Amino acid sequence: MVTRVGILTGGGDAPGLNAVIRAFVKFATREYGWEVVGVEDAFNGLMESPRRLQILTPVTCRGLLHRGGTVLGTTNRGDPFAWQERDGSISDRSQELADAVRDEGLAGLVCIGGDGSQRIALRLMQEMDIPVIGVPKTIDNDLSATDCTFGFQSAVDIATDALDRLHTTAESHERVLFLEVMGRDTGHIALTAGIAGGADIILIPEIPWDPARLADKIRRRRSSGRPFSVVVVAEGALPISANGLSDTERKARLKAAGGAGAIAMAELEGKVDHEMRLCVLGHLQRGGSPVPFDRLLATRFGACAVELVAQGRWGEMVALQSGSVDGVPLEEAAITRFVDLSGNLMRTARAVDVEFGG
Amino acid sequence: MVTRVGILTGGGDAPGLNAVIRAFVKFATREYGWEVVGVEDAFNGLMESPRRLQILTPVTCRGLLHRGGTVLGTTNRGDPFAWQERDGSISDRSQELADAVRDEGLAGLVCIGGDGSQRIALRLMQEMDIPVIGVPKTIDNDLSATDCTFGFQSAVDIATDALDRLHTTAESHERVLFLEVMGRDTGHIALTAGIAGGADIILIPEIPWDPARLADKIRRRRSSGRPFSVVVVAEGALPISANGLSDTERKARLKAAGGAGAIAMAELEGKVDHEMRLCVLGHLQRGGSPVPFDRLLATRFGACAVELVAQGRWGEMVALQSGSVDGVPLEEAAITRFVDLSGNLMRTARAVDVEFGG
Amino acid sequence: MVTRVGILTGGGDAPGLNAVIRAFVKFATREYGWEVVGVEDAFNGLMESPRRLQILTPVTCRGLLHRGGTVLGTTNRGDPFAWQERDGSISDRSQELADAVRDEGLAGLVCIGGDGSQRIALRLMQEMDIPVIGVPKTIDNDLSATDCTFGFQSAVDIATDALDRLHTTAESHERVLFLEVMGRDTGHIALTAGIAGGADIILIPEIPWDPARLADKIRRRRSSGRPFSVVVVAEGALPISANGLSDTERKARLKAAGGAGAIAMAELEGKVDHEMRLCVLGHLQRGGSPVPFDRLLATRFGACAVELVAQGRWGEMVALQSGSVDGVPLEEAAITRFVDLSGNLMRTARAVDVEFGG
Amino acid sequence: MVTRVGILTGGGDAPGLNAVIRAFVKFATREYGWEVVGVEDAFNGLMESPRRLQILTPVTCRGLLHRGGTVLGTTNRGDPFAWQERDGSISDRSQELADAVRDEGLAGLVCIGGDGSQRIALRLMQEMDIPVIGVPKTIDNDLSATDCTFGFQSAVDIATDALDRLHTTAESHERVLFLEVMGRDTGHIALTAGIAGGADIILIPEIPWDPARLADKIRRRRSSGRPFSVVVVAEGALPISANGLSDTERKARLKAAGGAGAIAMAELEGKVDHEMRLCVLGHLQRGGSPVPFDRLLATRFGACAVELVAQGRWGEMVALQSGSVDGVPLEEAAITRFVDLSGNLMRTARAVDVEFGG
């Protein structure tokens, strides 16, 4: 009897999802003869009636290597343990998922997704006895267990390209231009793109920033013949005045102000006499074809997932560590990696005179 | 005595400004032996004391062909006829400009700029007897006198690239995604990028749009197996409910709502049951290296400006007509070209099933 | 009974072929209810047994707008009037093609292809009474009847990008770098990309070039502080020593020398003392996703082809003239457009000091 | 007295050289107050009379972050220990270099260059007592001491983009297309770009390849409905028939055949019945703006070089190891890193069914 393995994508879009799927399918079918069952829209495809599943083959995966998005669809709604019914009530539907997995004869589920999806996957394994393998996906690259995640470099490239564009306009018009990039909890995209794009100021969630220091920096630049500045703002970066706020209060403040970029611009209003403008990159960072770096990493993750399944290493998650891709305990998916404030990269940023405001 | 010619850039940034300058300087110095005087920050460089001028030579113009922005700086403030003093009062300082032009021994001014700058240039010629040549610059490509302006294709490429990115995310998440692009009065960027990027709905200022028709289109797509849609919104596109509003009222409505994209999203709220998201491209469309199409066009404009000066055709403006670049009366800079609603391009858009909402 | 229309792609690959197909199919099926039959590999799909045809629908055309190549396949072998049999002999198989067209109940054939394909299409109409509509395709943009063809701008962008790259290396190493681009008979790509990419020397088939003039230019640059040069060479550009050669002899000379770029480099050997290097772009110019300019033009061509069929204007070819896309007599597909040596573009090139060697 | 430090670039061009220089200058001048002296054309600027040196400041380094090439110029000729005189004779001029370094009051030399340049630097330190710091530069990424070198990812991106383009043409025309990429001794670019670009066959110097296996693979693809193939060839990859040849003989064979790509195509001639075409990327891989990944890495290298100088760690070379940039002994610059044939990346390649021919 042919082994059947399920695969699904959960959480936000990230460039490289399709490349993981393609590599998994190519390797699993040709080398092991498994049947790969794609589950649509994260776990939902297994929980709805009728089920929404597609048999994936090397033929259906043609052209997926460089295609953005995910052919399986994705959603960050639909936790089987806390399923939202049509009437708004929440109920535990994990048993139905477990039944469906057995009913379909799936040896296990390969879950490509963020920390939310991996937490669900872990519970499915521990509580419902569903064998799972995790493939981490976070465009923010903020996962402790892996040196890098796919999608991150694509997002950095888009943000850097935007910085290049804003630079010419900032310089021509002698303005201060703000670019808000992704990063609710961590500043990896902002820091990396900021250095690569030659930003003058980088604001990250890890460093509460002091408006006075930013204004200083902008004025210093003007007096040294650079009457313009470019500021990168991670979407979770808040000024020192937010110190002590709870997580909920921080979110509320961000929402009320229209985002971290808007807050930064408002805080500088009156402190510098440049015209200021804000660009919010938003979803542009998530879509489109993955850069070659991410295509390679995603392919490696997909191939490794097959090896983990073949070796029966259920409960593990694919990760890149010191140049090699291998499995680590799925529990590690929950550990966030923050920007190391005394690390190598921060030192580099300060070396080229980036101001962090704190 | 060496002929001296002034050159300046006014109005918003546009990819190709530097390429115009480079071509003008290379041609003017090598072929005619003129001295080219770059005036900084539009007319301001001639009106401030001390004057801010730079002698431009082929050596100082190296590398400018593909560089975004303008090395001369630009501004859309500083009309010499309505100069804003530090105390906020307005005064006519055109005589000082005329004096400066003569004092510097400039045979004339080459003004690269939008309709605002060209209007000023025309008055300078008619009222103050300053010889001027215009080089049109509008990223919106909405000038009747010329088949195309530089910067437009670069903006279209950026917008189309954004549409490609949004498409993958819209599809993966089954969302309706909105992209707001430039175009306060005309929809050329929205229409061109919309077709090139495969948008489902395109909203332009020339067509007041009916929210019901948009909702229809989105629902029709869903029922034909495309449960997502991508909408391009020009920044001046308003719904039919704005019909009859004055220009000032339209602007006020746009400002209050946070832009045309926000209005479109709000109008659809409740009419469709997709998640919706908005991206505003903003200044990203203005900056960065010009695409080859714009580098060529800008180079042609710069070279033609030299020929107009050499032939003493002051009061003319460079324009592309039927494949040739030549001079037209500067007065024509004031005539806006709107999207031809029964034209070839609109027919194409409707052929591939684009909905305009009206 | 449903109208059936055939569509095919012939000759070399060009970015935009799929976009033409998509626009034709979307418009024809939705607006007119026709059935569109894709013929594989130019005319071959109708002449082989079994026939290779695919019903094209808006669903099968999803994602084609920005996809390079052609989903129908293409070939520049297989002239039905001079069909090459397996034993190498040539026979007229046009009657079989005509029979197949009738047998399939095709109202006519839309032929997307170069001058070779259009010549065949015209003969099919004139001699075999097969209704045809032509859609011109030449990446070289050398067709008199249309102001522009799709694929050209994509090729120009690739060539310009290559020039940008070569510039930095030429400058760092003080070399003379040659880039060979497409253009067997005409120099449009070389001229356009050459200006956009800031080439110092551009060699085109229309101008036999004198090696001494090139060497002069390179030496003049060195003595003015630019000890490097970048040379664009169209693949059919030959030196003055080839004047008087027949077309066959020219081809033989190009082949023997390994291409026009190699000839140019050899002719300069010993005349300048720079290191020299050659890059041949080759097929890279034909492949990949079309730039937005070409996506739009291709979409317009496809939509116009539907209108021509609908109006029964068989024997016409789609063309862009003065901003509008409409039909022209198919006979015009045979008229080559050469670079206008006294035209606007050449004047621009000379204005920015490009040397043509003649 | 102000500390003066020399900096130079040697060997072939690589995207990121200018970013190293910029970071070094920004950090060294602002933080330490050193005067940075740029030496032109590798060591030559110190050995010629008059010397060719430029004082580098943050102002002169503006805009360098994303600029390709090197503002200092480079060359791989001019070993001070084996200097080629005008009459062709070789002499040791290292003493003159040492004298020049002292005469200019340079505390030491920061040498950005390949293994050749680093070997010279090491001898200069050991034999002539000139303090040196190395910054490794190899686009081939084949240095044992560092996990990655700048320029590599840029080259991979260009090669992958070329593969994407060739794919569409290969598919449309049912051809076998070859892409020759850099890699005389190692296959890192070929392997990385090959996986990222979805190549079917990858030929690298580390694996002598068997033509019969390639033909097999191509035929297998045809019979499974993929009548085209894309082959990446590193410029030093040779077939098994070259086994046992000396290094000189291998080079001779490559030269005689016109490169590794030409050899591959010739070996398959007659074994498969597809049309075949070859593209040689050549210098396009070296030029142009560095991708963000390389801008960041180059900036880190430049900043670290300052720290090594500041700490007096002469004789060390900057290197990236496990995510941190630090100094390693300069001797390690000589150790080549080959593709690990049983490593993670090769396993990935085989998982997605890449054929290596051996």
Q: What is the 3-state secondary structure (H, E, C) of A232-278?
A: EEECCCCEHHHCCCCHHHHHHHHHHHCCHHHHHHHHHECCECCCEEE
Q: Is D348 inside any structural domain? A: no
Asked whether the ipTM of the predicted complex exceeds the cut of 0.90, the reply is yes
Q: CA-CA distance, D201 to D203, in Å (whole number)?
A: 7
Q: Are residues B142 and B157 in the same domain?
A: no
Write out pLDDT tens, residues D5-43.
Answer: 999 999 999 999 999 999 999 999 999 999 999 999 999
**Cβ atoms C160, B260 nearer than 8 A:** no
**Cβ atoms D290, D154 nearer than 8 A:** yes
Amino acid symbol at B346 = M
CA atoms within 13 A on the CB side of C27: 24
Lookup: tokens for D62: 């503006």
How far are the Cα atoms of D7, D12, D75, D311 from residue D109, in angstroms, in the given order?
6, 19, 17, 14
> CB A168 to CB B68 under 8 A?
yes
Gyration radius (Cα) of chain D, Å: 22
**Mean pLDDT taken over chain A:** 95
CATH number at residue A178: 3.40.50.460
Amino acid symbol at D292 = P
> CB C303 to CB B31 under 8 A?
no
Q: Are residues B12 and B105 in the same domain?
A: yes
Q: CA-CA distance, A109 to A102, in Å (whole number)?
A: 11
Cα three-residue angle D258-D260-D265, rounded to 5 degrees: 90
The DSSP code sequence of D233-250 is: EETT--BGGGTT--HHHH
Q: Are residues B129 and B196 in the same domain?
A: no
Residues in chain B: 358
Q: CA-CA distance, A328 to C131, in Å (whole number)?
A: 65
Q: Is B189 inside any structural domain? A: yes
Three-class DSSP category at B216: helix
Q: Are residues D294 and D283 in the same domain?
A: no
Where in the sequence is the domain holding B35, given as residue range(s)?
Answer: 4-150+290-334
Distance of CA D206 to the CA centre of its chain: 17
Catalytic residue among A13, A79, A140, A142: A140
Lookup: tokens for A159: 């943000």
Kind of pairing between the strands at D4-9 and D35-39: parallel
Q: CA-CA distance, A192 to C111, in Å (whole number)?
A: 50
Write out pLDDT tens, residues A169-195.
Answer: 999 989 999 999 999 999 999 999 999
Task: Scan for tokens 């839309």, then name that residue.
Answer: C110
Interface of B with C (CB under 8 A): 22-23, 26-27, 30-31, 59, 65-66, 147, 153, 156-157, 160, 164, 192-193, 195-198, 225, 291-293, 295-296, 299-300, 303-304, 306, 322-325, 343-345, 347-348, 351-353
Reply yes or no on whether the pLDDT at D85 is more than 90.
no
**Cβ atoms B120, B43 nearer than 8 A:** yes
Q: Is C319 inside any structural domain? A: yes
> CB A299 to CB D59 under 8 A?
no
CA atoms within 13 A on the CB side of A268: 28
**Cβ atoms B8, B45 nearer than 8 A:** yes
Handedness of CA D113, D115, D119, D120 (dihedral sign): negative
Three-class DSSP category at C246: coil
Q: Are residues A167 and A267 in the same domain?
A: yes
CATH number at residue B37: 3.40.50.450
Write out pLDDT tens, residues D283-311.
Answer: 999 999 999 999 999 999 999 999 999 99
Q: Are residues A86 and A161 in the same domain?
A: no
Q: CA-CA distance, D297 to D23, in Å (whole number)?
A: 11
Q: Which residues on chain C are in Cβ contact (under 8 Å) with D17?
A: 172
Residue of A nearest to B288 (CA): A165
Q: Are residues D304 and D255 in the same domain?
A: no
> Is position A41 annotated as part of the catalytic site?
no
> CB C296 to CB B195 under 8 A?
yes
**Global confidence as pTM:** 0.96
Reply yes or no on whether the pLDDT at A76 is more than 80.
no
**Cβ atoms D47, D86 nearer than 8 A:** no
Q: CA-CA distance, B332 to B144, in Å (whole number)?
A: 7
CA distance C123 to chain B (A): 30
**Mean pLDDT taken over chain D:** 95
Lookup: tokens for C46: 């109708």
Distance of CA C262 to the CA centre of its chain: 22
> CB C160 to CB B292 under 8 A?
yes
Task: Scan for tokens 């431009």, then name that residue.
Answer: B56
pLDDT at residue number C78: 79
> CB C287 to CB D70 under 8 A?
no
Average pLDDT over residues D232-256: 96
pLDDT at residue number D321: 94
Between helix B247-257 and helix B260-268 the angle, nearest 10°, is 70
Among B17, B172, B283, beta carbon nearest to A277: B283
CA atoms within 13 A on the CB side of B43: 29
Kind of pairing between the strands at C229-234 and C176-181: parallel
- Cβ contacts of residue D85 below 8 Å, gap of 6+? D91
> CB A164 to CB D225 under 8 A?
no
Q: CA-CA distance, D197 to D193, in Å (whole number)?
A: 6
pLDDT at residue number D239: 98
pLDDT at residue number A78: 79
**Cβ atoms C210, C358 nearer than 8 A:** yes
pLDDT at residue number D270: 92
Among B23, B296, B306, beta carbon nearest to C192: B296
Instruction: Tell me phi and psi for residue B357, to 5 degrees.
Output: 80, 10
Q: Are residues D122 and D163 in the same domain?
A: no
Task: Scan for tokens 């430039």, then name that residue.
Answer: B182
Q: CA-CA distance, B346 to C296, in Å (whole number)?
A: 12
Long-range contacts of C338-347 (CB under 8 A, 24+ apart): C338/C142, C338/C185, C338/C186, C338/C206, C339/C186, C339/C187, C339/C188, C339/C191, C339/C204, C339/C206, C341/C206, C341/C207, C343/B324, C344/B300, C344/B323, C344/B324, C344/B325, C345/B300, C345/C191, C345/C192, C345/C195, C346/C191, C347/B303
- Cβ contacts of residue A327 below 8 Å, gap of 6+? A133, A304, A308, A313, A316, A317, A318, A319
**Mean pLDDT, 10 residues at a time, chain B of 358 residues:** 94 95 98 97 94 96 94 88 87 95 97 94 96 97 95 98 94 94 97 98 98 97 93 98 95 95 96 93 94 98 98 97 95 93 96 97
Single out the residue of A15, A59, C293, A137 nearest to residue B168, CA to CA.
Answer: A15
**Cβ atoms D24, D303 nearer than 8 A:** yes
**Mean pLDDT, 10 residues at a time, chain C of 358 residues:** 94 95 98 97 94 96 94 88 88 95 97 94 96 97 95 98 94 94 97 98 98 97 93 98 95 95 96 93 94 98 98 97 95 93 96 97
How far are the Cα atoms of D118, D143, D231 from residue D321, in angstroms, in the given order?
19, 12, 32
Catalytic residue among D41, D140, D142, D200: D140
Structurally, how many domains does chain C consist of?
2
pLDDT at residue number D148: 96
Q: Are residues C141 and C8 in the same domain?
A: yes
Q: Is A231 inside any structural domain? A: yes
Q: Is A134 inside any structural domain? A: yes
Q: CA-CA distance, D218 to D226, in Å (whole number)?
A: 9
Q: Is A281 inside any structural domain? A: yes
Lookup: tokens for B218: 């989105």
Interface of B with A (CB under 8 A): 9, 13, 17, 67-70, 73-75, 158, 161-162, 164-169, 171-174, 177, 277-284, 286-289
Interface test with A, best of B86, B171, B172, B231 (most A CBs within 10 A): B172
Q: CA-CA distance, C98 to C116, in Å (whole number)?
A: 18
Reply yes or no on whether the pLDDT at A1 is more than 80.
no
Q: Are residues A8 and A142 in the same domain?
A: yes
Cα three-residue angle B29-B31-B35, rounded to 5 degrees: 25
**Cβ atoms C200, C175 nearer than 8 A:** no
pLDDT confidence of D201, banded at 50, 70, 90?
very high
Among C26, C192, C304, beta carbon nearest to B352: C26
Q: Is B126 inside any structural domain? A: yes
Which residues share a beta bridge with B135? B112
Q: Which residues on chain B are in Cβ contact (under 8 Å) with A281?
A: 279
CA distance D281 to chain C (A): 7
Kind of pairing between the strands at B83-84 and B90-91: antiparallel
Size of interface C-D (CB pairs under 8 A): 109
Residue of C nearest to B197 (CA): C292
Name the residues of C annotated as catalytic.
140
Lookup: tokens for A33: 């003869």
Q: CA-CA distance, A199 to C127, in Å (whole number)?
A: 67
Residues in chain A: 358
Q: Are residues D161 and D271 in the same domain?
A: yes
Write out pLDDT tens, residues A83-103.
Answer: 888 888 999 999 999 999 999
Q: Are residues A296 and A178 in the same domain?
A: no
Q: Is B249 inside any structural domain? A: yes
Single out the residue of C110, C106, C130, C132 nearest to residue C7, CA to CA.
Answer: C110
Among A23, A292, A325, beta carbon nearest to D344: A325
For residues C11-20, one letter each, b for 16 or more C-beta atoms within 10 angstroms of the residue's C-beta and e for the rest, the string is bbbbbbbbbb
pLDDT at residue number A88: 84
CA distance B207 to chain A (A): 27
Write out pLDDT tens, residues C61-119.
Answer: 999 999 999 999 998 777 999 988 888 899 999 999 999 999 999 999 999 999 999 99
Q: CA-CA distance, A125 to A330, in Å (whole number)?
A: 10
Domain termination residue (choose one: C257, C287, C317)? C287
